[in-house]
């Protein structure tokens, strides 16, 4: 009797072990160090939710070749040291093939080790040019256009607008004195020159600056037709727009991704009417977009009390879509899903229909999509005023 029990136990245990092995083989692990707390939490928690939902949605659709995604995450509090520690912790414990990180700083700090040791595909909250540089960092990608490419989209849009009295368009750059603010400026200067746009002023402030009088006076002196903000989330954009209104300046204000949020429009109130900018993604209220419809359906099922998802959620969701796409490409090519193979698939993402979330995109010359749409605020919502603008065409 005892012998039978022992042999049954052995059989059950070995079966369980085998099942464990087969389960382990059917999971594609995605690790993430997310800034769920800290000063970036306002976006971080939505990015986290977006990425988690996107992977779960892919699982509901059948995963990739029968394999499901497993999302492993940690809170990093937007702290460089903690973020690196959780990267290493997740790599050591779970050894995922894809990773997600919280900032440009972490991406840059980890890039050498990702290239030489970890060999994982790495996405992040950052739109920095350096992380989209395929020659330097082949494993890292940007979930949309880089800041420079976003500026490119705006400048291309401006160049296509009718000129006042047949004179070149006059543009001002208004940016914060941070990496986030300065990242696209050299490229933007060069491109403006190529497109025949005159850069008449460059205003630099600290993040969250309140006293912007001297910058406003400078804008008044130089009379730009357009003013593009970079490197801010909310302040001092409302102050600048209101100040310009008080001075009676006729300037079209524009922003890039982080300054294209509902949060900013809410702060601007009626002054936000006509505010423009570029975003790589469609907005939650654009019901006609197929991928947004899919999100709505998913949300209705899993988060029935959610009424709105901000653009940072879209960023997380789109990053999830890229992970799934890379895994699918690997699977279609009959290759095992490893970091190395996934990396090789990044340049093979060509003319990919993202269901309207990000247009039809390619990772053509860099590990970024180089595609964006120009929106204009009307009645507290963003309305598209251009089609998807591709920078590399």
Cβ 148 to another protein shortest distance, Å: 13
Cβ 206 to another protein shortest distance, Å: 11
Is residue 182 part of the contact set for another protein (CB under 8 A)?
yes
Cβ 49 to another protein shortest distance, Å: 9
Cβ 76 to another protein shortest distance, Å: 9
Is residue 184 part of the contact set for another protein (CB under 8 A)?
no
Is residue 98 part of the contact set for another protein (CB under 8 A)?
no
Cβ 182 to another protein shortest distance, Å: 6
Is residue 77 part of the contact set for another protein (CB under 8 A)?
yes
Is residue 80 part of the contact set for another protein (CB under 8 A)?
yes
Cβ 60 to another protein shortest distance, Å: 17
Is residue 74 part of the contact set for another protein (CB under 8 A)?
yes
Is residue 43 part of the contact set for another protein (CB under 8 A)?
no
Q: State the Cα–Cα distance between residues 59 and 309, nearest whole angstrom.
A: 21
Is residue 161 part of the contact set for another protein (CB under 8 A)?
no
The smaller minimum CB distance to another protein, of residues 88 and 267, is found at 88
Q: 23-42 mask for another protein (x: CB under 8 A)?
A: -------------xx---x-
- Token readout for 138 is 């082949």
Cβ 366 to another protein shortest distance, Å: 17
125 Cβ contact list (under 8 Å, min separation 6): 35, 40, 43, 44, 47, 101, 102, 103, 315
Is residue 307 part of the contact set for another protein (CB under 8 A)?
no
Cβ 183 to another protein shortest distance, Å: 8
Stretch that binds another protein, among 1-9, 15-23, 112-120, 329-337 (CB under 8 A): 112-120
The phi and psi torsions of 331 (rounded to 5 degrees) equal -65, -45
Is residue 105 part of the contact set for another protein (CB under 8 A)?
yes
Cβ 111 to another protein shortest distance, Å: 8
The smaller minimum CB distance to another protein, of residues 206 and 300, is found at 206
Is residue 47 part of the contact set for another protein (CB under 8 A)?
no
Is residue 228 part of the contact set for another protein (CB under 8 A)?
no
Is residue 309 part of the contact set for another protein (CB under 8 A)?
no
The smaller minimum CB distance to another protein, of residues 114 and 240, is found at 114
Give the count of residues interacting with another protein (CB under 8 A): 29
CA 181 vs CA 2, 176, 269: distances in Å: 73, 5, 24
Is residue 112 part of the contact set for another protein (CB under 8 A)?
yes
Is residue 189 part of the contact set for another protein (CB under 8 A)?
no
Give the per-residue SS3 of the chain.
Answer: CHHHHHHHHHHHHHHHHHHHHHHHHCEEEEEEEECCCCCCHHHHHHHHHHHHHHHHHHHHCCCECCEEEEEEEEECCCCHHHHHHHHHHHHHHHCCCEEEECCHHHHHHHHHHHHHHHCCEEEECCCCCHHHCCCCCCCECCCCCCHHHHHHHHHHHHHCCCCHHHCCCEEEEEEECCHHHHCCHHHHHHHHHHCCCEEEEEEEECCCCCCCHHHHHHHHHHCCCEEEEECCCCCCHHHHHHHHHHCCCCCEEEECHHHCCHHHHHHHHHHHCCCEEEECCCCCCCCCCHHHHHHHHHHHHHCCCCCCCCHHHHHHHHHHHHHHHHHHHHHHCCCCCCHHHHHHHHHHCCCEECCCCCCEECCCCCCCCCEEEEEEEECCEEEECCCCEECCC
Residues forming contacts to another protein in the complex (CB under 8 A) are: 36-37, 41, 45, 74-75, 77, 80-82, 84-86, 88-89, 91-93, 105, 108-109, 112, 116-117, 130, 177-179, 182
């Amino acid at each position: 009797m005892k012998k039978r029990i022992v042999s049954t136990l052995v059989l059950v245990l070995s079966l369980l072990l085998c099942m464990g092995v087969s389960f382990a083989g059917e999971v594609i692990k995605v690790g993430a160090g997310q800034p769920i707390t800290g000063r970036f939490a306002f976006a971080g928690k939505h990015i986290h939710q977006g990425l988690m939902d996107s992977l779960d949605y892919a699982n509901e659709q059948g995963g990739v070749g029968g394999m499901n995604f497993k999302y492993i995450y940690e809170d990093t509090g937007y702290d460089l040291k903690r973020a690196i520690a959780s990267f290493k912790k997740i790599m050591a414990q779970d050894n995922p093939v894809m990773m997600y990180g919280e900032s440009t700083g972490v991406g840059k700090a980890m890039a050498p080790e990702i290239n030489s040791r970890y060999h994982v595909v790495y996405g992040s909250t950052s739109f920095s040019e350096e992380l989209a540089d395929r020659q330097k960092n082949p494993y890292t990608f940007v979930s949309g256009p880089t800041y420079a490419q976003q500026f490119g989209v705006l400048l291309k849009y401006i160049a296509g607008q009718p000129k006042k009295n047949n004179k070149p368009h006059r543009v001002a750059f208004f940016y914060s004195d941070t990496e986030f603010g300065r990242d696209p400026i050299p490229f933007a200067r060069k491109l403006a020159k190529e497109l025949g746009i005159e850069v008449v002023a460059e205003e630099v402030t600290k993040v969250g600056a309140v006293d912007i009088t001297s910058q406003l006076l400078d804008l008044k002196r130089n009379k730009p037709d357009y003013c593009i903000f970079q490197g801010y989330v909310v302040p001092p954009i409302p102050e600048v727009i209101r100040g310009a209104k008080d001075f009676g300046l006729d300037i079209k204000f524009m922003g890039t991704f982080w300054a294209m949020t509902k949060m900013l429009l809410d702060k601007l109130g009626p002054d936000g009417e006509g505010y423009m900018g570029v975003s790589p993604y469609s907005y939650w209220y654009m019901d006609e977009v197929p991928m947004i419809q899919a999100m709505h359906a998913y949300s209705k099922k899993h988060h029935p009390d959610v009424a709105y998802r901000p653009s940072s959620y879209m960023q997380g969701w789109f990053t999830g879509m890229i992970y799934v796409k890379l895994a699918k490409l690997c699977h279609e090519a009959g290759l095992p899903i490893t970091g190395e193979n996934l990396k090789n698939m990044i340049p093979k993402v060509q003319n990919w229909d993202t269901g309207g979330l990000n247009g039809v995109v390619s990772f053509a010359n860099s590990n970024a999509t180089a595609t964006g749409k120009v929106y204009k605020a009307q009645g507290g919502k963003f309305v598209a005023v251009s089609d998807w603008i591709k920078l590399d065409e």
